[in-house]
Structure 1
Amino acid sequence: MQKVDCLIVGGGILGVAVARHLQSTFSHLKCLLVEKENGLAKHQTGHNSGVIHAGIYYKTDSLKAKLCIEGLKRIYEYCDANHLPYKKCGKLIVAVERDQLERLDNIYRQATENGVQDVKMLDSNQIREIEPNCRGIRALHSPHTGIIDYGLLCRHFGKSFEQLGGRIVFNFEAEKFLSSDDASYPILVKSKTNSALLSRYVITCGGLQADQLAVACGGSKHPTIVPFRGDYLLLKKSNKDELKINGNIYPVPDPRFPFLGVHFTPRMDGSIWLGPNAVLSMKREGYGLFDFNVRDTIDHALNRGLRKLAWKHMSYGFGEMRRAYSLSATVRELQKFVPALTVKDVERGPSGIRAQALSTDGNLVEDFIFETVNTGQLKNRILHVRNAPSPAATSSLPIADMIVAKAKECFNLE
């Protein structure tokens, strides 16, 4: 049976960044990353909008703000050093109604306090200079916000991990974490296909499966991971020149609701994504409008925190569901920023699933949550990353540093 020093579970950008940094920091360790799919970046990493965020929205001096700002800088540096493509296309946060101006001013003040570089406020004429098809009263401009193919970046992290001496195994869905009879390799990890290996230590970065991986080790059921699907529209290729979008166009977020709202996002392949909405998915990894899983649906029904969240945001939820099935409802929201857009200009595009940690009181968990097994033979041998909140992709490199530092402390690595 294969024996390794440290097993990393999860082939999304965070798991691969952690594996790469762990192998680089502790070169004497034999590290192995396992992924249940047949390649890296198959879920959240490969289905997100690809925005490199600048750290605008997050509370001053918060960990999320600091990690995002550092993450942006390090992604650009990594891409430059390794000749990976990205675009600094910028971002506008546009106020289209006067009651949004105070919120926009607060965001601007917060962004400057966070140290976001070169942000400035634009008037309606300056908005049109950057985005000729966009209309608004005022807008916050972030020129260093960018776009990237996070799947490509994740796979490059994986290549770097392997060059450092690590190994990646696909089609291994870790299901059981048991005590072994080998004192030197005390963790027996079994997959759903009965493959097995032994490890000294385990780090899980399971994303949509984070809570289930923790429970499989005897950990807490809470916080639970609730999957929210975001459906995008695409600007038709025949209309891209006429309705040219140069950079990201975002609304002023409403603090009463948990998501940012629909926006315009250019992609590295030249396409323009419009959206997304945010609806509860009846399947953890279900990207279709009608995807359904019995177990996941029952879990939702029994989730007390989810019932509280749904009750608190019922009207918002119905609006998001309407936009999931109605192109015209989504286009009406987008027309607030680009009035020339019509239903004829768009078609249905891809969808992504966001792993949202939810507490029992019905609040979305915005903090980082780590959990260790602290009883029996596996005590201080397994570290679960139960929540690494957005913008985790942008912040993946500094978050990986933080997780490896936590693992060093937990596992007493030298």
Structure 2
Amino acid sequence: MSERHDIVVVGGGIVGLATARALLAALPHTSVAVLEAERRWGAHQSGHNSNVIHSGIYYEPGSLKAAMARVGGELMIRYCQEHGLPVARTGKLIVATADSQLAPIAELARRGRQNGVTLREIGGAEVSELEPSVRAIAALDVADTAITDFGAVTRSYAEELAEQGGAARLGARVLAIETRGDGIVIRTEQDELEAAVLVNCAGLASDLVARMSGTDPGVRVQPFRGEYSSLAQRAGTTVHRPIYPVPDPELPFLGVHITPGIDGSVHVGPNAVPAFSRAGYRWRDIDPGTTAQWVRDPAMRRLARSYWRDGAREMLRSLAKPMLVADVRAMLPGVRSGDLHRDGAGVRAQAVDDSGRLVDDFVVRTSPRAVHVLNAPSPAATSSLLIGRYVAALAREAYDGTPAPNLRVLIEAFGSESP
């Protein structure tokens, strides 16, 4: 006999657990289960990232992403403070190291101010006063930035799920999904679960889960490996806040940055190397079947043609340490090759649309019995409390017909609330 639940969430990362938490808060008498394929919560993107709570400076003024970062970031900081999780308002510097970056950094300042971000435009001399090891000709001093441990946040969400009576299943990889009568049956490696509503927060496998359920995702997931190096702290390499380069506006990545961890360590990264497996944490992690599917996909071939130069540069920087050192030295000239040591990687689930374009926005699709989160780019971790509430509202609409509010309405409603 199948185990029965009202709502089953597939994916035990920060967004999936935030959604389950919000569902149980809104519908305390429902049965909610979370299925996670790995043996621990937040095993992928949620536990392998820069751990920066973003301010919203990068996003188009008036956009949902900008509002989500501003409101979601403050919610996250308060959540960490109220739950005894590590968090620090460090601020950050976005540094221009060449004259060609002055116009883009001025545009970032314009965006930031329109988005309500607290920032200052400063010159190279003041950069040296704030961060003596950093070299720049100009910078943005962004006050509304913090650092935390998103892995710890994810585990805290899981603890709340258990306290609220939710069912937590680790090591429950989904193998098949089918509709039976008025329910959805999810088959895992161990057993079957039946639900009225499915919520797909499967990250790197979100497009696969959507297809299993009979939904055309409209996108496919291309994993990008982000490799990190630890940076030895000594005279000439010490930093006290995140140091970011001016990003390339044509790409949905922020470039290699230098980030102090909440534990006192300092990391450099990530790059953005196309991976050849959905869990491609190393060069040798190659899934021939998945790679063959991507090669046959016209959209993926168009993606390769459009971004081959960028991809080749990232791959070379991954393989040739001197290229990484040179990029870091542009901001931190005292760094030597021996100061950088490989220190793990994360894999980002990046949606690609049918035209071969990298999707730089959230993609959420709904059906009468399911909600699919198919792209959750930055600021997803920053705004996970807010995103979880929105996805939960969509799931509730599928469950009992309660209309889900518009996301912008949710942002405004939660802007002054505690998490």
When normalised by structure 1's length, the TM-score is 0.94
Query: Does structure 2 retain, via aligned residues, the 8 Å contact 1:95–1:136?
Result: yes
1:160 offset after TM fit, Å? 1.0
Q: Which amino acid aligns with 2:32?
A: C
Q: Which amino acid aligns with 1:13?
A: I
Equivalent residue in structure 2 for 1:247, among 241, 252, 274: 241
Structure 1: distance between partners of 2:394 and 2:376 = 13
SS in 1 for 2:75: helix
Say yes or no: does 1:344 pair with 2:344.
no
Say yes or no: does 1:231 pair with 2:219.
no
Equivalent residue in structure 2 for 1:216, among 212, 216, 220: 212
1:16-35 mapped onto 2 (5 Å cutoff) = 16-35=17-36
Which residue is equivalent to 1:122? 122
Aligned pair in 2 of structure 1 residues 194, 163: CA closer, same or farther (>3 Å)? closer
Structure 2: distance between partners of 1:254 and 1:171 = 38
Q: Which amino acid aligns with 1:410?
A: A
Q: Structure 1, residues 249-276: CA drift from partner, whole Å, max 9, x if none?
A: 1111122334221110111222111122
Q: Structure 1, residues 183-234: CA drift from partner, whole Å, max 9, x if none?
A: 5xx111101x251011111111011011000000111152000000111111
Which residue is equivalent to 2:280? 286
Structure 2: distance between partners of 1:411 and 1:365 = 29
Q: Which amino acid aligns with 1:77?
A: R
Query: Does structure 2 retain, via aligned residues, the 8 Å contact 1:43–1:353?
Result: yes
Q: Which amino acid aligns with 1:228?
A: F
Q: Which amino acid aligns with 1:54?
A: S
Moved more, 100-109 or 285-294: 285-294
1:393-408 mapped onto 2 (5 Å cutoff) = 393-408=381-396
Query: Does structure 2 retain, via aligned residues, the 8 Å contact 1:275–1:330?
Result: no
Q: Which amino acid aligns with 1:393?
A: A
SS in 2 for 1:372: strand
Structure 2: distance between partners of 1:390 and 1:195 = 34
Structure 2: distance between partners of 1:204 and 1:171 = 16
Structure 1 vs Structure 2: percent identity of aligned residues? 36
Structure 2: distance between partners of 1:100 and 1:389 = 25
Q: Which amino acid aligns with 1:295?
A: G
Query: Does structure 2 retain, via aligned residues, the 8 Å contact 1:257–1:316?
Result: no
Query: Does structure 2 retain, via aligned residues, the 8 Å contact 1:33–1:168?
Result: yes
In the alignment, structure 2 segments of 5+ residues that lack a partner are: 403-419
In the alignment, structure 1 segments of 5+ residues that lack a partner are: 374-379
1:5-154 mapped onto 2 (5 Å cutoff) = 5-116=6-117, 118-154=118-154
Query: How many residue pairs align between the two structures?
Result: 401
Which residue is equivalent to 1:376? none
SS in 2 for 1:402: helix
Structure 2: distance between partners of 1:258 and 1:68 = 15
Aligned pair in 2 of structure 1 residues 365, 151: CA closer, same or farther (>3 Å)? same
Q: Which amino acid aligns with 1:395?
A: S
Q: Which amino acid aligns with 2:209?
A: L
Moved more, 403-412 or 82-91: 403-412
Structure 2: distance between partners of 1:126 and 1:201 = 55
Query: Does structure 2 retain, via aligned residues, the 8 Å contact 1:232–1:273?
Result: yes
Which residue is equivalent to 2:407? none
Structure 2: distance between partners of 1:288 and 1:68 = 31
Query: Does structure 2 retain, via aligned residues, the 8 Å contact 1:53–1:391?
Result: yes
1:348 offset after TM fit, Å? 1.1
Query: Does structure 2 retain, via aligned residues, the 8 Å contact 1:249–1:263?
Result: yes
Query: Does structure 1 retain, via aligned residues, the 8 Å contact 2:11–2:36?
Result: yes
1:265-284 mapped onto 2 (5 Å cutoff) = 265-284=259-278
Aligned pair in 2 of structure 1 residues 258, 67: CA closer, same or farther (>3 Å)? closer
